[in-house]
Amino acid sequence: MTYLRLLQHLSAEGVRSVILADGDTAHFLPGVASVRELALGAIAAGQSLADAARDAGQGEAVDIAAEYAAGRLLAPIDHEDDAHLLLAGTGLTHLGSAEGRDKMHKAAASGEHVTDSMRMFLEGLEGGKPAAGAVGQQPEWFYKGDGSQLVGPGAPLEMPAFAKDGGEEPELAGIYLIGNDGTAYRLGHALANEYSDHVTERHNYLWLAHSKLRQAALGPELLLGDLPSHVEGSSKIVRNGETIWEKPFLSGEGNMSHTLANLEHHHFKYDLFRRPGDVHVHFFGTATLSFAEGVQTQEGDVFEILAAPFTLPVSNPLVRVEERAFAVKAL
């Protein structure tokens, strides 16, 4: 089975365009500058995003692997105003996802005490896949930032000067656009690295919010249509040209304790997340972390994540940024 994918392109002259990829072939969409623009037109016309892409016409053929290698592919979604793109996510959603988290928090527990992480995971395991029409158990939820925190293909993931760690989280993200009537339209899914500070989180679970206020990276492809129930990929860390850690990871509903619909419900049930015109990138969680296996990342490490049916990876180097001075003044 082949999947349609949309990619955003920036030419050497600074001209933006959109590419439609179908299997091994791809072509530019004439006159389309962004996925958001295409999606707004699809909503107005009452058609699917895939149909809108097909109806846009067929421009010049393009080799997306070559364009990726040349650094001309952007994140598959963005917004001209960063304040109207929201990055958020849900955790403890995958079978086995509690193991690494529970290890982090066991030091705060004693005897037979069950950590809050394990309790939340077990509640999701029991009630995260409700019957059609029913509302299931709400998951862990976190905020990552606005569009300024979104990192595209090949761009560095920044570790703030105050950060204790910078670690990868290989997962899938749902991409959404809010229509004029407040409807949340799912445009598709992207491969993602929901990069976090796990040392900060391990210190105290109540610091989870701090640990998640970091950048996040998306692969270049927006996968259209339904997500496969089983997604299998690999996550690795490359240091000085050598792979120092690699492990497979699983995603898709068949490997999760929640349905995607349940995760979507508990995000978009809030009115403030249904503001017309806004874009949402929502990370669905993972069960695979190098940090849980004792890996300490270093500046210059490259995170590489790949999973079919996506054909291009999420690949980003880690950089430590200098302290940025700021002031708070009474006015």
Q: What is the pLDDT of residues 222-267, one digit of tens each?
A: 999 999 999 999 999 999 999 999 999 999 999 999 999 999 999 9
Residue 35's closest CA among 18, 57, 10? Answer: 18
Average pLDDT over residues 66-92: 97
Residue 145 has pLDDT above 70, yes or no: yes
Residue 191's closest CA among 83, 33, 68, 274? Answer: 68
Residue by residue, DSSP assigns 17-86 as EEEEEETTEEEE-TT---HHHHHHHHHHHT--HHHHHHHT----B--HHHHHHTT-B--S---SSGGGEE
What secondary structure letter does DSSP report for 299?
A: T
Average pLDDT over residues 159-182: 97
H or E, element range at 211: helix 208-212
From residue 135, alpha-carbon distances to 130, 182, 261, 265 in Å are 6, 20, 9, 8
Measured in degrees and rounded to the nearest 5, phi and psi for residue 79 equal -140, 140
Contact (Cβ atoms closer than 8 angstroms) between residue 223 and residue 23: no
Q: Compute the distance between CA of residue 178 and CA of residue 268 in angstroms, rounded to an integer.
A: 10
Q: Compute the distance between CA of residue 278 and CA of residue 205 in angstroms, rounded to an integer.
A: 30
Q: Compute the distance between CA of residue 43 and CA of residue 185 in angstroms, rounded to an integer.
A: 8
Q: Compute the distance between CA of residue 208 and CA of residue 231 in angstroms, rounded to an integer.
A: 27
Q: Compute the distance between CA of residue 105 and CA of residue 202 in angstroms, rounded to an integer.
A: 6
Q: Compute the distance between CA of residue 297 and CA of residue 320 in angstroms, rounded to an integer.
A: 11
How does residue 108 score in pLDDT terms, banded at 50, 70 and 90? very low
How does residue 96 score in pLDDT terms, banded at 50, 70 and 90? low
Measured in degrees and rounded to the nearest 5, phi and psi for residue 17 equal -155, 170
User: In this predicted structure, what is the pLDDT of residue 94?
Assistant: 81
User: In this predicted structure, what is the pLDDT of residue 10?
Assistant: 98
pLDDT in tens, 12-30: 999 999 999 999 999 999 9
Mean pLDDT computed over every residue of the chain = 93
Coarse DSSP helix, strand, coil percentages of the chain, rounded to the nearest 5 percent: 25, 30, 45
Q: Compute the distance between CA of residue 329 and CA of residue 8 in angstroms, rounded to an integer.
A: 41
Contacting residues for 295 by C-beta, under 8 A, at least 6 apart? 167, 237, 244, 245
Give the range among 122-131, 168-177, 312-321 with minimum mean pLDDT.
122-131
H or E, element range at 123: helix 116-127
Residue 110 has pLDDT above 60, yes or no: no
pLDDT in tens, 270-305: 999 999 999 999 999 998 999 999 999 999 999 999
User: In this predicted structure, what is the pLDDT of residue 111?
Assistant: 47
Contact (Cβ atoms closer than 8 angstroms) between residue 209 and residue 193: no
Strand, helix or coil for residue 309: coil
H or E, element range at 186: strand 184-193
Average pLDDT over residues 309-324: 97
